[in-house]
Amino acid sequence: MLNKLLHLFSEDIAIDLGTANSEVYVRGRGIVIQEPSVVAVNQKTGQILAIGEEAKKMVGRTPGHIVATRPLRAGVISDFEVTEQMLRYFIEKAQKRKFILRSRPRVIVGIPCGVTEVEKKAVSDATKNASAREVFLIEEPMAAAIGARLPVQEAMGNFIVDIGGGTTEVAVISLGGIVLSKSLRIAGDRLNEDIIQFAQEEYKLLIGERTAEEIKIGIGSAYPLKDKRELPMRGRNLVTGLPEEISVSDEDIRRAMEKSVKQIVAEIKMAIEETPPELLADVMAAGIQMTGGGALLRGLDILIQKETKIPTKVVEDPMTAVVRGAGLVLENLDQLHEVLVETEYLEPPK
């Protein structure tokens, strides 16, 4: 009876706690928050100054005592206290009801495949400390597959590639479980680093992370484009110390990211090699499904299809696939609870 009352007055939440961006889904309302996973901290006082979009604007533009930081690295918590503050901010912002009877929410959080029990417990504890009543964890490829409306509970192979900010997750899913998974700590952030390194080595130009990301989004590609594209790249010349602007082409940026892109493709090929034959037959028919912000890199689906000989497509709205899938589990917890991660630290669904 008490659980029914709590359920009635709580706004249950699903969170895709990403290295680069976080999304929040509220039961019955859909996705309500999409913000960068960035927190600005005053190091003198320890005070949190800004979270999300406001904090991202401060990256690279703060005085020495204010640090705009990401509390997650490669999808796992690197700063527990700051992550807790960020989670509390997202949970409070997502909750519409402000009246006294509001109950603490049940929360589903997406985690990368292959994280340790300690890392799972860190996510669970941080979420509980941020005012969650119950915490459930779901592996991101499973959530992404559900968000892409793949038949994960059927006896057939579903091949999903989720490329986020910190990790690339490759998984084969069948009968509501992950048969095979690979987690590679090369994804969107590494591609930004590749562009920064390329600018330094090729042009002796120091550029920031935001500039690198804007160039990646603007002209970045994994496969040659039909039309040549160029963008100005602004930074500081490391020789003269003066500001400089140079023009870079899509070919330059493709060359800069080539090594990391090849590693992602190699990981996918390795997962295909290890997939049981019956499931591989299903995958060859249904194709490889791509989710996450990294899936939007131009031509990456074409390159993967060429290298694997398997049809590859980017799902609709790939950036929100994980949070949409976690939201669907939240809406249908009784039918889909078996897709959640079982750990000794978590209470079973009621």
Identify the pLDDT of residue 89.
87
The verdict on whether residue 214 carries a ligand-binding annotation is yes
Q: Are 21 and 36 in contact (CB under 8 A)?
A: yes
Beta-carbon contacts of residue 222 (< 8 Å; ≥ 6 apart): 254, 257, 261, 297, 298, 299, 300, 302, 303
154-193 pLDDT per residue, tens: 999 999 999 998 899 999 999 989 999 999 999 999 999 9
The verdict on whether residue 94 carries a ligand-binding annotation is no
**CATH architecture of the domain covering 188-256:** Alpha-Beta Complex (3.90)
Strands 230-237 and 205-206: antiparallel
The verdict on whether residue 110 carries a ligand-binding annotation is no
The verdict on whether residue 215 carries a ligand-binding annotation is yes
The total of other beta-carbon atoms located within 10 Å of residue 46's CB is 9
**Quick one: the chain helix, strand, coil %, rounded to 5?**
40, 25, 30
The verdict on whether residue 213 carries a ligand-binding annotation is yes
Cα–Cα distance for residue pair 202/220, rounded to 1 Å: 17
The full set of domain ranges for the chain reads 2-36+76-143+321-339, 156-186+261-318, 188-256
The verdict on whether residue 296 carries a ligand-binding annotation is yes
Helix (H, G, I), strand (E, B) or coil at 232: strand
Q: Write the CATH number of the domain with boundaries 2-36+76-143+321-339.
A: 3.30.420.40
Cα–Cα distance for residue pair 244/208, rounded to 1 Å: 13
pLDDT (tens, 9 = 90+) of the chain, 350 residues, equals 445 444 555 689 999 988 888 899 999 888 888 988 888 888 888 788 888 888 888 877 777 788 888 888 877 788 888 888 888 888 888 876 554 445 788 999 998 887 888 888 888 899 898 888 899 999 999 999 999 999 998 999 999 999 998 899 999 999 989 999 999 999 999 999 999 999 999 999 999 888 999 999 999 999 999 999 999 999 999 999 999 999 999 999 999 999 999 999 999 999 999 999 999 999 999 999 999 999 999 999 999 999 999 999 999 999 999 999 999 999 988 888 888 886 444 444 44
pTM above 0.85, yes or no: yes
Q: Write the CATH number of the domain with boundaries 156-186+261-318.
A: 3.30.420.40
- DSSP conformational letter for 75: T
The verdict on whether residue 294 carries a ligand-binding annotation is yes
The verdict on whether residue 145 carries a ligand-binding annotation is no
The verdict on whether residue 293 carries a ligand-binding annotation is yes
The verdict on whether residue 158 carries a ligand-binding annotation is no
Domains 2-36+76-143+321-339 and 156-186+261-318 belong to one CATH topology:
yes
Instruction: Output the six-digit token pair for 23.
Output: 């999304």
